[in-house]
């Protein structure tokens, strides 16, 4: 029991330090991770096992691919093209980037999507001389919303799909409708919140409209190589189950082959990786793994499920909201990993239909990631890239926007589940 409460205290202390932002979040996460190991709350072997190397490998691989691809100038091309199609107006650009992010996130990993979109965003905001924050927040939130719609859009969905009979078409049939409605509402609210910040001088808008996007391509040969490798990598993500390969393996294969054909120096390529973001993930995985190892996550889940007492609607509502709140504060991957066997045991011990509970878990875990800056992989990735561009995304600033929008989206999901799943 002592280790149970000590692991909770250390987690809360780490979280409080991240919120205060007196020290860099990567340093805090690594200190927290080493402290729990030093105190014997988790063994070094279990700490290493707690690190989700599939996520780490996916991040590193896609960072390398996107970093090399960026050198071709394709992001500048895409930025100018999308801005011109949007008439150069910041509001239209924000809506366009939000929708593009959501659609891509449904068919790519969220992290891959933001790695592609954020560089485009900076090209545009630098040109318009406006703050990138509204756009970055929109992309974070839309990536998590869009990723909720499909089996491959978000890691929790992949985990649920592999643990159940539910396939790609099941996810689209049951989750696409609420996701579309939530996405429209979310973008509308974001436009309302940031409407005063989405104005640029007419000459800046006009200067974008006069640009020729083709001039931004610096290396056509590298562009062709990068796009071929990127297309093959994305195809691999679609086929990863049939190929019996994890997404990290596919991403690293793509990165390795692109390094080979581009003839880039490895030392230069590895500098493209957001290493502070990678090590923040490592520390966070160990700390959350400590909570899992000491039974904290399982205890919370069992308590919540015991309250519902076999009522489908109550059980579904508890899973949805508990998953959302928990996923806002701890990574949703270990949480979902804990919930899956618990839901299996619920199914064996009761006559409740299980599919509505799986949809409740998927919606809660994926949408909940929007609650805080460390709620999902995409959030942390965007914060890391932004920092490299000189933009500091503060934990509290994001919380003020992300958490209310998360609550709104989960409330909308509750209505959908009540009308179509829980009855």
Residue range 284-299, pLDDT digits in tens = 888 888 888 888 877 7
Cα atoms found within 13 Å of the Cα of residue 212, Cβ hemisphere only? 3
The whole-angstrom separation of Cα 137 and Cα 379 is 9
Number of H helices, E strands in the chain: 22, 0
Q: What digits encode the pLDDT tens for the residues 361-405? A: 999 999 999 999 988 878 988 998 899 899 999 989 999 999 999
Residue 216: DSSP 8-state = G
The whole-angstrom separation of Cα 153 and Cα 376 is 13
The whole-angstrom separation of Cα 46 and Cα 286 is 9
The whole-angstrom separation of Cα 161 and Cα 167 is 6
Closest CA to 11 of 330, 299, 399: 330
The whole-angstrom separation of Cα 139 and Cα 157 is 20
218, with CB counted inside 10 A (0-12, 13-18, 19+), is middle
* Least confident interval from 157-161, 195-199, 317-321, 331-335: 331-335
* The pLDDT of residue 411: 97
Cα-atom radius of gyration of the chain, to the nearest Å? Answer: 21
* pLDDT for 350 beyond 80: no
CB 281 within 8 A of CB 380: yes
CB 371 within 8 A of CB 324: yes
Report residue 268 as tokens. Answer: 């230069």
Average pLDDT over residues 214-218: 78
The whole-angstrom separation of Cα 338 and Cα 344 is 11
Angle, vertex CA 87, rays to CA 82 and CA 88, nearest 5 = 75
5, with CB counted inside 10 A (0-12, 13-18, 19+), is exposed
Report residue 387 as tokens. Answer: 């920092």
The residue written with tokens 């996810």 in the block is: 171
Residue 149: DSSP 8-state = T
Higher pLDDT, 279 or 83: 279
CB 360 within 8 A of CB 415: no
CB 172 within 8 A of CB 149: yes
Phi/psi at 262 (5° precision): -85, -15
The whole-angstrom separation of Cα 412 and Cα 324 is 13
Average pLDDT over residues 324-344: 80
Average pLDDT over residues 89-108: 89
The whole-angstrom separation of Cα 142 and Cα 397 is 17
Report residue 81 as tokens. Answer: 């093209």
The whole-angstrom separation of Cα 244 and Cα 229 is 20
Report residue 379 as tokens. Answer: 């959030």
Average pLDDT over residues 337-360: 81
* The pLDDT of residue 349: 67
Report residue 125 as tokens. Answer: 């905001």
CB 415 within 8 A of CB 316: no
Q: Whole-prediction pTM value?
A: 0.80
- What angle do helix axes 133-147 and 90-107 make, rounded to 10 degrees? 30
Q: What percent of the chain has pLDDT over 70?
A: 98
The residue written with tokens 């914060």 in the block is: 383
CB 251 within 8 A of CB 361: no
The whole-angstrom separation of Cα 353 and Cα 335 is 22
Closest CA to 285 of 21, 40, 32: 32
Average pLDDT over residues 61-79: 81
- Contacts with 50 (C-beta within 8 Å, 6 or more apart), sequence order: 42, 285, 286, 288, 289, 290, 292, 293, 334
Name the residue ranges covered by the structural domains of the chain: 53-420
Confidence of residue 221 (pLDDT cuts 50, 70, 90): confident
Report residue 404 as tokens. Answer: 């209310």
């Amino acid at each position: 029991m002592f280790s149970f409460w000590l692991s909770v205290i250390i987690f809360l202390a780490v979280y409080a330090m991240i919120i205060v932002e007196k020290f860099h979040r990567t340093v805090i996460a690594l200190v927290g991770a080493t402290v729990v190991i030093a105190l014997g709350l988790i063994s070094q072997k279990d700490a290493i096992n707690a690190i989700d190397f599939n996520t780490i490998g996916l991040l590193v691989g896609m960072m390398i691919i996107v970093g090399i691809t960026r050198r071709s100038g394709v992001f500048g091309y895409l930025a100018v093209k999308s801005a011109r199609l949007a008439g150069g107006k910041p509001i239209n650009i924000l809506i366009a980037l939000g929708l593009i992010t959501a659609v891509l996130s449904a068919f790519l990993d969220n992290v891959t999507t933001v790695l592609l979109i954020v560089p485009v965003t900076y090209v545009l905001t630098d040109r318009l001389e406006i703050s990138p924050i509204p756009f970055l927040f929109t992309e974070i939130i839309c990536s998590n919303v869009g990723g909720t719609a499909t089996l491959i859009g978000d890691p929790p969905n992949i985990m649920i799909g592999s643990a159940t009979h539910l396939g790609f078409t099941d996810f689209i049939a049951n989750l696409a409708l609420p996701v579309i409605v939530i996405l429209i509402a979310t973008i509308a609210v974001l436009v309302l919140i940031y409407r005063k910040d989405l104005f640029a001088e007419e000459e800046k808008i006009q200067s974008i409209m006069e640009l020729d996007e083709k001039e931004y391509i610096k290396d056509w040969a590298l562009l062709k190589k990068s796009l071929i490798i990127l297309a093959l990598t994305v195809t691999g993500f679609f086929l990863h189950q049939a190929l019996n390969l994890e997404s990290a393996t596919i991403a690293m294969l793509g990165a390795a082959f692109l390094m080979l054909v581009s003839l880039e120096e490895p030392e230069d390529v590895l500098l493209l990786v957001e290493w502070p973001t990678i090590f923040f993930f490592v520390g966070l995985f160990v700390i959350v793994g400590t909570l899992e190892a000491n039974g904290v996550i399982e205890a919370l889940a069992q308590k919540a499920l015991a309250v519902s007492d076999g009522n489908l609607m109550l059980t579904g509502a508890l899973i949805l909201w508990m998953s959302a709140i928990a996923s806002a504060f701890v990574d949703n991957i270990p949480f979902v990993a804990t919930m899956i066997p618990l839901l299996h045991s619920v199914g064996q011990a009761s006559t409740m239909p299980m599919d509505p509970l799986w949809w409740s878990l998927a919606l809660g875990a994926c949408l909940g990631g929007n609650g805080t800056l460390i709620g999902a992989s995409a959030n942390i990735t965007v914060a890391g890239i932004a920092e490299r561009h000189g933009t500091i995304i503060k934990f509290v600033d994001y919380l003020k926007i992300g958490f209310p929008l998360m609550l709104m989206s989960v409330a909308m999901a509750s209505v959908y589940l009540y009308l179509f799943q829980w009855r």
